[in-house]
Structures are given as structure tokens and as C-alpha cells.
Structure 1
Amino acid sequence: MTGTEPSLVGSLLDRRYRVDRLLARGGMSSVYRGVDTRLDRPVAIKIMDSRFADDRTFVDRFEREARSAARLHHPHVVAVHDQGFDTAGGPDERRAFLVMELVDGGTLRDLLDQRGALDLPLALTIAEQVLSALAAAHTEGLVHRDVKPENVLIGRGGGALGSGVVKVGDFGLVRAVASAGTTSASVILGTVAYLSPEQVTTGAASERGDVYSAGILLYEMLTGHVPYTADTAISVAYRHVNDDVPRPSEARADLPPALDDLVLRATRRDPDARPADAGAFLAELAEVRSQLGIPRAPVPVPAGPADAATEITDAEKTVPAMRAVTSQVPAGGPRGTQALPRGPLVAEQPPPPAEPMAAADAPQPRRRRWVALWLVVGLLLAGGIGAGVWWFTGGRYVDVPQVTGLDRTQAEQVLRRAELVPSFTEERHNTAPSGTVIRSDPESGSRALAGDEVTVVLSLGRPVVPDITPGSTVAQAEQAIRAVQLQPRRDAGADQYSADVPEGAVVTVSPKPGNQANIGDAVTIVVSKGPPPTPVPSVRGLSRDEAFQKLREAGFEPFDAGEEFAADVPAGHVTRTDPAEGATLTDAKRVGVYVSNAVEVPSVLGRQIDEALQILADAGLTSNAEDRRGRFAFVLDQDPDPGTLVQKGTTINLNVVP
């Protein structure tokens, strides 16, 4: 919508949404404050320029992306209530519009403009809430594509008095606009400072691209400026593609190294080197914050553009006067979805003039009626003033009730009875049972405005060791473990051989999946060392040829290692191997085979002495009866017995007669 186009103030979109006041105008859309007349609630209405409505691709994608964004129900996401098309600007002007939650406050850009670099507790608190919103989107398969301070809103009513709530807006709109044939370079110029290298080079947008942009956002909050600036958008884009993001500590010396490393991990030029998605980034940020002992901080609500505008006096409360005030929005228009400031929903009209007084000679009863009327008016005014004094001096405040330990339903009932609006978030806790309230913000006993939102933190219970699929990469396992606020750990001594899981992939974790642990506990990742080595098979007692065949079938290279005596292994059969049976070999495959040289004692019982001695000599044995040769004598007994295995050269004792 351009500055020359007619204002849509006073229009009724889709016969439901009344357009009340222009808040901001940009090159692609204008943001109005309005009212949902059906539900009687204030809303923000973003009306796209009419040139987009003629592009069929844009229309289809706008509807699709709006439906996706509307699925996100998260305390840190600007809620999308409705979307549609209307001809409120005229019969020939069809415009797409979004109806969104009205956020009362400013943007992160406003806060950075007012304060410069943020202190560490505040910067990390804002980053956590932004990443929480992006993690919810990534879980739903939705990529933001345009993470920047202008799309981070800080509204009132998020907690203790003076504390704001962070909300991320404009999910999916960049993708819809980028699909339209009318897209110009201006779409890039406003966001190039936060674009990931792959978005610049290929246009590819993914969860890791959002991680990169969030890393640049954290860099800017810590230092007060983005890492790259130049005269042209092309020059900035070139730096994103070709340079590594510098350490934030180079611009701010008091930053701890852990924060430097966190920003650098999130802004690696290689997408695979970044955290896989916002949930993984959030887990790493929470770990760093815990290690450094940095507490969470209340988020101040910045003054938005309209907050700084000249206040409208009673005499100026007409439609022309209102348009004059809204024209003070910066000429550059919004740099993204703007925070929606406070202000009257519609221009107030002056009260009708009082009826002229009666003439002096009017009847006395008429004068008495006027006196009575003014008396009633006076009483009503007095009562109204008293009620107003009560309201503004304390009547509109309520005590925040105690909800710690209650379940969600009980907490909601207690808060609504106290005229407060509960908003639930979840986090893990080592002692609070799952589903019970850990704390509230504002905390119990503090004072809050009636109708304020109270953030209620529910316990998810203790972390549970995640179920890691065998074969997952170590990086995937580390991400899953950090996502449940546990600490991944590597121990080479715990690694195992596996016939099913490839070498280098995850076999399991310890403690086993499903076990509960405390926040920050270590979980050891057990990695596969590949298939287990084949043990040397047992070949003892087999013949030499049988042993060689069995070893070759097992993948070994057998060789003759020599002979040796074994009292229980026949000659020519295997006594042992080297390496021994059961041994596992990693590199060398050669196995030495030892064969028995035992001699089986032959039977010479009943033999004539000369014949017996010859049989023993042929077997390589000797006898104690050598001196009986030539005599007519026979063997009556022998020792060792026939069939005994003895060493070669053993003497056999013979008992001969006569």
C-alpha cells in the first residue's frame, strides 16, 4: 500500500473486522488497529498491498501459510486468528488481510534503539523466548524465514508489573510474498543483515537458516549492532556468504568465551555445523546460561512508534486529527510485523450540545424538572468520580493467588476466580511431579492488574533418557540428549563391537533409554566399533588337513608351526594353534598349527623276543630286553600297555620267559 492510496479506516472487512486506526505502513502491507465485531475484541489487522491479490501463486501460498501459522499456539508466538480477502478499498481493489493478536508495546528493534547492547541476563532471556517460539514452529514443520528484531514483539501483560512478554510474529509471510511475481529487491534489503548464507546463494530456507538468523539476533543483542554493515545490501550479503561471523567479544570485551562459542556455533556458514533446529539451539543456550549462572531477567516494554507520538487532545479526537497523528510513523515504514501500541479503538465524537435553557418566563414546573435533572447528574458524577478514584488507586489491582503445587486445571480455576488470565508454559524439574505448577510470574502474593496475564510454569518432571535408534549419528544422539536437558558424554572405553550397527554409529546410550535422570546428568553415547573380530576356531585333535581347511573357512591363513608331543593327541593331529583358539585378530590373519609327534606303543605280547624288539625299533622305541636277543624267549607282559601314546625313543619294559 503506498502513501497515495486511500485509507481503509472505517472499513468493515469480511463484514466482521472494523478497521479503526493505521499504526504503520510499509512497502508490502499496512498494519491497523481494529475490532473483531463478532467477538468484541481488539485485534491487529495486516492488510497486504492490492497488487499481490492478483497473483494466483501468492493467493494460494498466503492462504496456506496463514493456516500453518494459525496452528501455532504458543505463549511466545503472535497468534493468527483469521485470514481472508476483501474489497474494502473499492470494487477493483481486492486485498489479502491477516487478523492477529494485538500486542500492546514495542519491538526488539525499539528496545535496541533505546538501549544499545543489552545486559547478559536480558539478552539471554529474550533469546530463550524467541527460540522457544521458533522451536514450536519447527516442531510443526514451519520455518519462519525472516527472524529479525522487527519481527520480535515485546508486549505488556506478560508477567510482573513492568515486565513484558516476547512474541515472534510474521510466520510464513515472507515465503508467501516471495512467491508473488511482483516481488522486488526491497524484500531482501530490509532483512539481508540476518539472512543465512544458503538463503543468499540458493534461496533455500530451513530450520538451520532460522538458527543462523537467531544467532545474528543474539549477536546484535550482545553487541548493539549486527556483525556486517555496508553501503549496499549486496555487500552485506557477500559478507554472510564469504566471511565467518566474528566473535561478539571482539566488540564487547566482557563477554565470556562460552557465549562467543554459542554464537559462532549458531552462525557457521556450513548449515550442518549449526544446531539442527531452534530446539537444539535453545537447549545449548540453556546449558550455557546454567554453566555461567546467568539468571533470567524481566523484559522491559519499549516505547513503540505511536507511544512517542503527540498525544491526541479531546479537541483533536476526530478522524482527520487521528490520521494526522498516524502519519508520524517513520517514513521507512515497518521493518517487519510491528508491535501494536496502545490507543483509542475509534475516534471519540464530542458530546451533543445540551438543549437550550427555557426562556425566563417558562413555567416554574419546567424549571424544577431541570433542577432535579441536574441534581441527578451531579450525584452520578460524584459517584463516577469516587469509583474512578477507587479504580485508579487500587481497585483495579488484585493479589496473585498461590498456585504452586496445583495441577493445570486447578491453577486455571484459581487464577480466573482472581480475575487473572493464565498462560501456561512447561519446563523440566528434578523434584516437582509432572503436570504440577512450579512457579508463577508474577509470583503469589504480588499485585497485578485485573485481567493481566499470569505465566504459569508447569513441570514436565525429571528428564527421561531419550530412545536413540541404533545406527543414529553421534550428532543426532547429542541433539536428542540435549533436547531433554541432559548432557551427552563420549567414552571410547564404553564403545562396543556390533554386527548390526556400522562402525562409528550409535549402538545405545547409558543409562538405558526410558530411565529418569536429573537435569544436566551425563548420558554416555555407546558407539559401534564395527563387526566383532572372528575368534580363532578350535582345531585341536583334527588332522592337519582338516585343521587347515577349517581355519581357511573362518578367514585365517594357516601355516605349519612344527611338531610337539601331546599324550592325548595321535601323531599327525593338531595339538594347538598360535594364536590360541578363541583369540580375536584385528589385522594379522596368520595362524600357526602345531601337530602331535606322539608314538603309539605297539603290542608285542606273545612275540618271540627278536621279533618284539624289531617291532619296537620300527616304532622308534627301545626296550630293556636288548640283552635277550637270540634266545628262545617270548614276551609275557609289556609296560606301557599297547596303544599308549609316548614320546619317540621311550623305553618299553618287557617281561619275557624263560
Structure 2
Amino acid sequence: MTSETRQGQGNGLVGAFLERRYRVDSVIARGGMSTVYRGLDTRLERPVALKVMDGRYSGDRSFVDRFEREARAAAKLHHNDVVAVYDQGVDHGADGDHVFLVMELVEGCTLRDLIMDRGGKLPLAMALSVMQPVLSALAAAHRAGMVHRDVKPENVLIGNDGSVKVADFGLVRAAAEAGTTSGSIILGTVAYLSPEQVTTGAADARTDVYAAGIVLYELLTGRPPYVGDTAMSVAYQHVNEDVPSPAQTSPEVPPAIDALVLRATRRDPEQRPADAGAFLAELEQARTDLGIEPVAVPVPASEARTALMPPVADPPTEQFPTVRAQPTRIEQVPPAQPPRQHTRALARPATDDYHAAPPPGAGVDPQRRRGRRRGAMWALVVLVVAALVGGAAFWLGFGTSVAVPKVVGVSEQQAVQSLEGAGLSANVSRENDNDVPEGIVLSSNPSEGSQVRSGGSVDVVVSLGKPAVPQIEAGITVAEAENLIRNAKLQPQQDSSNSRYDRNVPEGRVIGVDPAPGTRVNLNSEVSLIVSKGPPPVQVPDVRGMSREDAFTTLSNAGFDPYDAGQQFDGDIDAGKVVSTNPAIGTEVKLVGKPRIGVIVSNAVPVPSLNGMKVTEAQAQVAQLGLQLSVQALFQRDDMVILGQYPLPGSRVQPGSAIHVTAF
């Protein structure tokens, strides 16, 4: 679909002002749940992206409430790899209400566009360079207690500057928990659904890990691991089959990356990395081990545009017994045009039946397959209609509804008692808050006064008060300490000026934090890490003039490892005594292990007294000392006696020096 066609759709709001502030300029794209417009914040004079939700959601109060909560949570995600959320609101126009989100405008394309431009798959270095910011964004969300639920290439935006950002945090959850869907509906993109989403609808950080693993699989191989005639047949494979090895399709994929993809896409969530942060750490370690340097992520020249939604129109999200997927056989999809994945809602069958049933289309001829498919579809339609009729009958004929009592601002115990007194139960969760004291209710969903069926439940969020600086055990790594601090909803900071020496904590490990553990501080406050520089340096002791043995003992007692470093002449120090060390005496040396210290001894020879000795005796003595005898006499005779000498007795000379004597 061309850009002109794309921008011609859904232009009813073009030229309008949302809440008298945001001017709607042009359509960027349409999605399954919304239309995205380029707009202008007239108050701040900055371009923005305006995501306006489909009209069927605007009248659903439960959706609007959930949408506002998810938008507020997303707005707290201040991360370079997350598309920033600036504002949210509901514009009450003459043509109806418009629920909208104001977001950062990203000029560029989607990851799907890049995949298509590259012929279906990316080079390994580029694939890893894309996944690093994707996982970094998801890790930030997981630390904040958020789950994306719809990770796919269409929700990964690539800016013209090479930045990679993840969009649409919380929108699927808002739609899934609204009155437009039910517990029997799967909402998401079938190619990336985790097994637990298909069977139970459950989603946590490991659900995003699974979807990110599928995305990485697709980047490496050029296709998702599962395709099928229907969305349900693809979902069946997620539940009943292990994701195949990427190396089977692309043998050039290194074993470490291959194993990482398989670990991230295990059917059992317990066997996956615990969250995106753990996935990211493993990916970065694998990339380091393989020596793969990060590369720039390009924007295809033909696709340079504003990328906030898939560039083709997405069908509205609807409820289907089964959903037609993209072309059945993989050869029907040209490598350069992989299918775009849309967020869809589909009926989730009973878990036991789902595991037992074969995938649609397996082992039957096309005619029988079509017949069975039509029969199964009509049977499911009948069941859905019967369930709706039965539910309506119960609600109108037998069910009763009660108003949610006031619980915000009271203690948790009072809130639970009030709800139980109204015939309701409380689902309690907790989160930190700078202003509300610990134990006081922050919010409820549904809100006060909303009608809830008797016996139903109400989500209650209880304040934990200001977060406390966590306990940091001395000696842990910087990465471990940073994770603990982030998990406490605080921001770790490392300043070299705070580093100090410590005899017990190895260099590079954490000594402590400032403020001290247990201190209550505001959310996202900075906590400084105090990092060890290792033991304080020790001066090389003064061993000059000592014997070699005494010097070695002194250096060993100071924590050093002495060794012989040769000899050197020194006219002031006798032979065998220490002249100097290497490093030099007085140098400060860090005691990492046992630093080696070279010991240099004197080779000076003391000059003996030769006066009165016969020349022959003197010659024998100085020869033993490695010296020479130079004799001056009028007559050379064997029995000559030495009358004088130079150098004088007691002087120190270098080995081989001559001693000059006068004999008679």
C-alpha cells in the first residue's frame, strides 16, 4: 500500500484540536486498535504523535480507566529506548469521545520495514545491535513492574538517527482487560504469543522474553518459527511444539546465539531468563565472547518516514473463533516481503482440549479440511452465542450488582473489610508512593461507585510509602548492586570520587551506598555506589644496607615477594649488602596478590691492609678478593716488602680494580 493511500484513510480528525491543545495534522498509519496522526502540541510548539483509539473503546468505561492507568505508568518510563509518552486524555467532541495518547514523534521506520528491506533477515551483528536496545527497553519496563504483552517488529521503531525504540507499552493490557474482551479471548499477535498467553491468558516479564526470543529468531532466519492456515493453528504450535533451532534454517548462527534463542523461547516460563534484564545480560555476554562489535542500525532510504505504526492498514481488533493468518506455506511469502503481524483477538479453547487436538489442516485433504474448518467454526460460534445468552440470563435474572465502596485513602485492613462487607473481594497489590504513607490504599479498579457483580473482585493498590535504600552486602559486584537499587525503584549512580581503599573488599566491588541502607527516599532518587579501590598502597620499606637475607625477610613481612635483581657498585656499602630495590625504596605499591620487589646488592670489595707484607703474600690475598696488585720498586726481588698502598686500607673498590703498592 502506498504512502498516499495510507494517509488517505481515517482522516476524519485531520484539522481538529484534541482538548483544544493538540492539533491533528495528518494520518501516519492505522492499526488494529487505533489510528496514529502526526500532530502539534500548540502549547509547547513541538511535533508529537497522536494515537487515537478506535471508537468502540471510547464508550467502555473500564477501558478508559485502564487506558489512563497504563498511560500514566508508561509515562513514568524515562528510557532512551522507549517511545516517550507525554500525555493522555479523552476529547469530548461533537462526533463522540476520542481516547488518545500523546507520544514522542519518531522519524524513521519500523523494524518490519528494515527486515523487508534486507530481504527477510538481518546480518548477525545488526540483529544483535537491534535486540540490545529492545531488551534494554523491556528491562526498564520490567523493573518498573510493567509487561509489554505485544512485542513484535511492528512495535519496534528505528529513527533516522539510528536509535531503536519500543512503543505501545500497556495498550494490549488495557484492551484485554476492558469490557470488549473476556477471559476466553486471546489478545495479541499470534506469531509472538507465548504458550501461557494461549492457554491461560497469563502474562509476565517472561512472556515478553518469549516474544523477544521469537523476534530474534525471525531476525536471524528471516521468518517466524510457526506458520499455519489459521491463527489457532499457529497458537497450537506455540503450546505443543518447541521452537526449532535457528541454526537449522541459518547454519551461520553461532552456537551461543542459537542456544540463547532456544532458552528464551522455552515453553516452560521457569526455564527462560527471568526477565528482559537477564536476557540482555546473556546476549551481551555472548556478543562479547564472540567478539561482535555493535553496528549502526540503518533506516532504508525507501522507507524513511514517520514510523509509529505498521505502514499498511491493520484490520480492527475483533473477536474471532479462528483467525486467518498470513499465507499458509512459507514459499508463498517472498523473502523480501515477510508478512506483517497484527495484534488480533481470538477465542482461547479449553487447555486440555487444546493440547489434545491436532493442528487444523493436519493429515486431511483440502476438501475435508475446509468442511471440518467450517463445521468447527460454526460449532464454536454456537458455543460462544450460548455462553453470551447464558451469561446475560444469569446477569439479568439471577445476578446482582453492588457499588464499589470508598477504599482510596483508608488503610488496607479497612479497605478489605469494606469490600467484604459489600460482598466483594480484594486483589491487593503494592507499589511505592512518595506522598501516600505505607499501608494506605492508592487506587482501586473499578473505582468507587462502579457497579460490580456481587461476589466479584476489586483490584486494590496499597502504598508501600517511599522506597527504602536496599541492603547492599559488601563485596558484591557493581552490576548486582545496581540491580538491587533499580528493583527498589531507585537510580544507581557511580562516582569515582566516592571510591576508597578497603583491605577486605576487592578492587571494583561495592563497599556500600550513600544514603545508607534503610533510608527512605523519593522514587527514582539517586543512590551512590561506594566502590572499593582495593587495599591501600604500601611503601616499599627501606632495606638499604641490610644483608640480602634480612632484606628478604623485611619485604616478605610487608606483603611483598622479593627476588634477586642483580648487583651494583656502591662505594658506601659493603659487598652483599642491599644497595636499592625495584620499585625504588619508598614507592607506594598496591598490595594486589604479593607484588614482586627486586633486591639489588652491592658488589663493592673492601681494600685490605697490605703494608709490611711481602709482595708475594699480598698478590695471593688480593687475587682471592678479585683484585689486582700493581707493584712499584727500584729493584724487583721476590722478598720485597710493601711500604705503602693506594687505595688506602678500608676503601671500597669495584671488582677487578688494581691496588697500587710501593715495595723495597
TM-score when scaled to structure 1? 0.47
Larger radius of gyration: 1
